[in-house]
Amino acid sequence: MADNKNQDNPFADFHFDTGFGMWRDYTVRYGVVAAHCICQRYLKMQERAPDLPEREFCRQLQEAMASEHNMTDVDVYRRSQAFAELDGDMYSYDKSYRANRSCAGDIDAAIEVCSYGDNSVDYKTAFNALTYRYGLERLRFVLGCEVRWDSVFRRYPDELHQWAEDMNISENYGRFDVRTRPEYLIGLIAKLRQAEQINEPPTHERGGQEQGGTELKNKLDFYIAFYEQLALSGFQAYVPAFDYDKKYIADICVNGSNIAHLTKSDTVEPNPHADVEAGTIDTLREILKSTMRMCGLTDARQYFSETDLSVLHASLVKVRMLPDNDLDSQETSVIDALIEKIEATVPELGGSAADYEYAHANSAELAEGVEQ
């Protein structure tokens, strides 16, 4: 990944009189999506600003960001250029192709702006900026083309290559020149797939598993989910190297160093040739265990008592119901899904979320909620 622009503080020469001026200047300097990410960082810093002029500045900035023209109204053209020529619809093909190239460049810009010195990335802000401007379908299409094009180099796990193949992308499409390194794109793909799962109907409506989380079409879905969780925690998964005995599903790396293996028996084993702290291996095993729970491969009761689940359930319900909890729609959906999973595991807790009223919270909790 290129040197990050955000290593130089974008607010160091802050001199704007209005929020509109800040938005206009940053879009000229960095482009729309990168400017969106920078301004979101600023708004998070100032969200509890006490003085009225600063609140008015933030309101103007939000209004300017919302007024920016986006490309969600441009349809994703999935057929080949040859088909478009025969069909007499080169206009739609060209318009979609230009949007794809623009999206690829903005993927690089968003990851660059949202990267920090400790190799961590604010994938949530990058993902929100990209989907606001291009929509979920186009972002998925461009990332899918990038992964499929990489099939020669195999820099992504086999399971993600299968994910891209399942999109049925026309052979006419290669890539749109995304420059960000694969380990960072895996993290962005993880946010994309999480959003897609939230937008799916609940498991019981799809006729899936009654217990557990994400419905698995096959074991491939579990491995993809595990790689996504690794990426969100700063690890990377690669095709096994030097695995002459065919014992491993993937190599697990951090900063390019192979530290562990995912075995065919679905366990995490340390790389015997690497100096790895026991705590790191414990973290990897916990990620694997939590992914199994999320995918419904294990019963939550194996890891939590009913008392633990009851306390967790009550806390989630309070966070969900208290006013001014600063949750966005995606975070609210995740909490709702967790509540449903707990109630499926402990049915006697069902309905308590609906029965919870603000009056049941103590005055200190209400005061804290109002203050926030």
pLDDT in tens, 203-225: 333 333 333 344 455 567 778 78
Per-residue pLDDT at 103: 92
pLDDT in tens, 307-318: 666 767 777 777
Least confident interval from 23-37, 142-156, 286-300: 286-300
Per-residue pLDDT at 260: 92
| Model pTM above 0.85 | no
> What is the C-alpha separation between 343 and 17, in angstroms, rounded?
51
Q: How confident is the model at residue 303 (pLDDT cuts 50, 70, 90)?
A: very low
> What is the C-alpha separation between 55 and 124, in angstroms, rounded?
24
Q: How confident is the model at residue 139 (pLDDT cuts 50, 70, 90)?
A: very high
In three-state secondary structure terms, 260 is strand
> What is the C-alpha separation between 226 and 123, in angstroms, rounded?
17
Task: Calculate the CA dihedral of residues 351, 349, 336, 225 and round it to 10 degrees.
Answer: -150
Residue by residue, DSSP assigns 272-337 as TTS---HHHHHHHHHHHHHHHHHTTSS-GGGTS-HHHHHHHHHHHHHHHHSSS----HHHHHHHHH
pLDDT in tens, 262-297: 988 888 999 988 888 888 998 999 898 888 877 776
pLDDT in tens, 153-166: 778 877 788 888 88
Least confident interval from 34-48, 183-197, 246-260, 328-342: 328-342
> What is the C-alpha separation between 25 and 35, in angstroms, rounded?
9
- The most confident of the ranges 138-142, 212-216, 360-364 is 138-142
- Contact present, 187 and 232 (Cβ < 8 Å): yes
Tell me how far apart the terminal alpha carbons of the chain are, to the nearest angstrom.
37
> What is the C-alpha separation between 127 and 136, in angstroms, rounded?
9
Q: How confident is the model at residue 366 (pLDDT cuts 50, 70, 90)?
A: very low
Compare 171 and 142 and report the one with higher pLDDT.
142
Average pLDDT over residues 220-240: 81
Per-residue pLDDT at 284: 92
- Contact present, 144 and 138 (Cβ < 8 Å): no
Q: How confident is the model at residue 247 (pLDDT cuts 50, 70, 90)?
A: confident
Average pLDDT over residues 37-46: 86
Question: Is the confidence at residue 330, as pLDDT, over 70?
Answer: no
Residue by residue, DSSP assigns 65-121 as HHHS--STTS----S-HHHHHHHT-HHHHHHHHHHHHHHHHHHHHHHHHTB-TTS-B
Average pLDDT across the chain, whole number: 76
Question: Is the confidence at residue 93, as pLDDT, over 70?
Answer: yes
Question: Is the confidence at residue 331, as pLDDT, over 90?
Answer: no
Q: How confident is the model at residue 352 (pLDDT cuts 50, 70, 90)?
A: low
- Please report, for residues 56, 106, 124, the alpha-carbon distance to residue 47 in angstroms, rounded to integers and kept in the order given: 11, 26, 18
Question: Is the confidence at residue 199, as pLDDT, over 80?
Answer: no
- How many other β-carbons are positioned within 10 Å of the β-carbon of residue 362? 9
- Contact present, 242 and 231 (Cβ < 8 Å): no
Per-residue pLDDT at 198: 64
Compare 7 and 223 and report the one with higher pLDDT.
223
Average pLDDT over residues 324-333: 64
Per-residue pLDDT at 143: 92
Compare 63 and 174 and report the one with higher pLDDT.
63
235 burial type by CB count under 10 A (0-12 exposed, 13-18 middle, 19+ buried): buried
